[in-house]
């Protein structure tokens, strides 16, 4: 059976884009509701400087208090060695380290050169010895940088090689941080990366934003190239505060609709997800996105194929 795994990032990428502090109780309730939709993986926050992103300051509190079904995989994002230590101290078993391919976005995001970030990652990761947590490595600005424009594929290839040299067991997320990737660019980059680097130890994921309305098309293209982990944010919130011009993540409900419509299973209950997506969007309505939420629900939920015959408009 064809299937795809969705990593839900609304609690991290989504909420970090919202200026006004979202009460911890609200975050916990929404995270628990997301998990109840059948979502298998959740990025529930980040250990970053509260001066950089105050919205994420309650991540360890959320980790302590959220009640999630057994088997749901939880990860947090970290940008430096201190973040990794805090994540481990909080008992997290999956971390997402982030470095940008482009020099200027990396400096804007984590105030270090790309070389400095890779040196810090190598020291921190190799310093852990045995019993390391599971690693998702997010390579930001793989297609487009808000300051440098289109990114050369060779630069992404070099970054992927650096990651694998330091951490041979890894899931590497190829991120369209600004949402400006053209669909053919997604295709050519993955067509180059997957045959060369995917293995039993190295998996690839796609993380997209929907700034120009290409989020779903780009995710499907990534899938067609062989990627089986796709990031989405329910309600379409999101965006790196250090990437001017980036809009929200591709909405998870749009991804679920598109994949299920093609017969590719996500394991996610779309009716429940839409209800949670509405509540997440209500947290910051002017920043929310996605298309499927705007369609009358009875039409969306009528099913696919012959089941949709005769649905009233």
Among the listed residues 37, 142, 175, 240, the single catalytic one is 240
14 binds, among Zn ion, ligand COA, none (CB under 5 to 8 A by kind): none
204 binds, among Zn ion, ligand COA, none (CB under 5 to 8 A by kind): none
Q: Which residue is nearest to ligand COA (CB)?
A: 83
Return the number of the residue (205 or 277) whose C-beta is nearest Zn ion.
205
Q: How far is the CB of 306 from ligand COA (least distance, A)?
A: 43
Non-local CB neighbours of 239 within 8 Å, separated by 6+ positions: 13, 17, 209, 246, 247, 248, 249, 287
79 binds, among Zn ion, ligand COA, none (CB under 5 to 8 A by kind): ligand COA
Start-to-end CA span in the chain (Å): 32
Residue labelled with tokens 């995989």: 73
Return the number of the residue (254 or 300) whose C-beta is nearest Zn ion.
254
Return the number of the residue (13 or 58) whose C-beta is nearest Zn ion.
13
Q: How far is the CB of 95 from Zn ion (least distance, A)?
A: 16
- CA 281, 286, 292, 297: dihedral to nearest 10 degrees? 60
266 binds, among ligand COA, Zn ion, none (CB under 5 to 8 A by kind): none
200 binds, among ligand COA, Zn ion, none (CB under 5 to 8 A by kind): none
- State the number of binding residues for Zn ion (CB under 5 A): 1
Residue labelled with tokens 């970030």: 117
Reading the block at residue 161, the tokens are 């090689």
- Note the residues at the interface with ligand COA (CB under 6 A): 16, 46-49, 51-53, 77, 79-80, 82-83, 86, 98, 109-111, 140, 240, 242
DSSP-assigned beta bridge partners for residue 97: 78, 137
Rounded distance, CA 255 to CA 262, Å? 11
Q: How far is the CB of 46 from ligand COA (least distance, A)?
A: 5
Rounded distance, CA 13 to CA 150, Å? 22
Task: Return the H-helix or E-strand segment holding 78.
Answer: strand 73-78
Q: Are strands 144-145 and 94-100 parallel, antiparallel or unpaired?
A: unpaired
Return the number of the residue (53 or 256) whose C-beta is nearest ligand COA.
53
Residue labelled with tokens 């939920």: 301
Rounded distance, CA 96 to CA 94, Å? 7
Backbone angles phi, psi at 95, to 5 degrees: -120, 150
Q: Which residue is nearest to Zn ion (CB)?
A: 13
Q: Is 175 a catalytic residue?
A: no
Among 6, 7, 13, 59, indicate the residue that binds Zn ion (CB under 5 A).
Answer: 13
Return the number of the residue (77 or 300) whose C-beta is nearest ligand COA.
77
Q: How far is the CB of 16 from ligand COA (least distance, A)?
A: 6
Rounded distance, CA 63 to CA 133, Å? 16
Active site residues: 240
Please give the residue ranges that form the binding site for Zn ion (CB under 5 A): 13
């Amino acid at each position: 059976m064809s299937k795809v795994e969705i990593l839900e990032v609304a609690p991290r990428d989504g909420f970090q884009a919202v200026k006004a502090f979202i009460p911890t109780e609200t975050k916990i309730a929404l995270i628990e509701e997301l998990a109840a939709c059948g979502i298998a993986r959740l990025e529930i926050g980040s250990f970053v400087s509260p001066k950089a992103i105050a919205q994420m300051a309650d991540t360890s509190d959320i980790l302590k208090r959220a009640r999630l079904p057994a088997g749901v995989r939880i990860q947090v994002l970290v940008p430096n060695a201190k973040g990794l230590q805090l994540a481990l101290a909080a008992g997290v078993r999956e971390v997402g380290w982030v470095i940008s391919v482009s020099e200027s976005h990396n400096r804007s995001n984590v105030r270090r050169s790309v070389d400095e970030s890779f040196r810090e990652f190598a020291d921190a990761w190799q310093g852990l010895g045995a019993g390391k947590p599971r690693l998702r490595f997010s390579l930001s600005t793989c297609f487009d940088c808000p300051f440098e424009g289109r990114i050369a594929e060779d630069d992404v290839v070099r970054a992927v090689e650096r990651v694998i040299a330091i951490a041979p067991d890894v899931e590497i997320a190829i991120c369209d941080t600004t949402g400006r990737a053209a669909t053919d660019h997604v295709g050519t980059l993955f067509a180059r990366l997957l045959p060369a680097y995917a293995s039993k130890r190295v998996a690839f994921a796609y993380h997209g934003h929907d700034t120009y309305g290409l989020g779903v098309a780009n995710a499907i293209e990534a899938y067609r190239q062989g990627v089986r982990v796709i990031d989405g944010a329910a309600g379409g919130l999101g965006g790196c505060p250090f990437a001017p011009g980036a809009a929200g993540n591709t909405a998870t409900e749009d991804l679920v609709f598109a994949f299920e419509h093609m017969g590719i299973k996500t394991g996610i209950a779309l009716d429940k997800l839409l209800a949670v997506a509405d509540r997440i969007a209500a947290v910051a309505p002017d920043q929310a996105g996605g298309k499927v939420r705007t369609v009358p629900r009875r039409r969306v939920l009528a099913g696919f194929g012959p089941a949709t015959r005769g649905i009233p408009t």
